[in-house]
Amino acid sequence: MSNLLEQTAAVVFSARGLAKVYRSGEVEVHGLRDVDIEILRGEFVVLSGASGSGKSTLLNILGGLDVPSGGEVRFGDTVLTGADENDLATYRREHVGFVFQFYNLIPSLTVRENLALVTDIAKNPMPIDEAHRPGRPDAAAQPLSGPAAGG
């Protein structure tokens, strides 16, 4: 039982002294200042705050899409701070899932074909039939349209 508790309480993400500074000429904008966070396995976390408070910046750094200006970021025992682009790409591919506000789908492909792109690069991909909405198999074969497809 204690082993289960240890697994449940394992730290998935940690950040210490995290900072992100954006520079434009001599102007500095601080996206994050001295952020400490620890997220445990199985924990449900909500980030809320005013526009411009650093929510997306923090998520982009934790997800390996951006790098901090200062501090340290860890995923489990892996230090992400200072990782090169290849290591971050591997981290994103094997450990991170993103749902973007604008879906970044390829409009000339069907839903099934867009999903298949992920299975080509994922280490242990979910079967395509499990990834799209059940009860709508016809939708997976149709070309995309609407806002997600840019139309």
Q: Are residues 22 and 61 in the same domain?
A: yes
pLDDT at 1: 47
pLDDT at 102: 60
Q: What's the pTM?
A: 0.67
* Domain that includes residue 41, residue range: 7-95
Q: What span, in angstroms and rounded, lies between the C-alpha atoms of 40 and 9? A: 6
Q: Are residues 12 and 79 in the same domain?
A: yes
Q: Are residues 38 and 73 in the same domain?
A: yes
Element of type H or E holding 91: helix 85-95
Positions in the chain whose pLDDT score sits under 70: 1-8, 99-104, 131-151
pLDDT at 139: 52
Q: How many domains is the chain partitioned into structurally?
A: 2
Q: What span, in angstroms and rounded, lies between the C-alpha atoms of 108 and 130? A: 22
- Let me know if residue 2 belongs to a domain: no
Summarize the chain as % helix, strand, coil (round to 5): 30, 25, 45
CA dihedral 64, 83, 125, 111 (to 10 degrees): 40
CATH number of the CATH domain containing 13: 3.40.50.300
From the list 122, 102, 9, 13, the residue with the least C-alpha distance to 62 is 13
pLDDT at 133: 58
The residue type found at 30 is: H
CA dihedral 64, 65, 68, 74 (to 10 degrees): -10
pLDDT at 103: 63
pLDDT at 94: 86
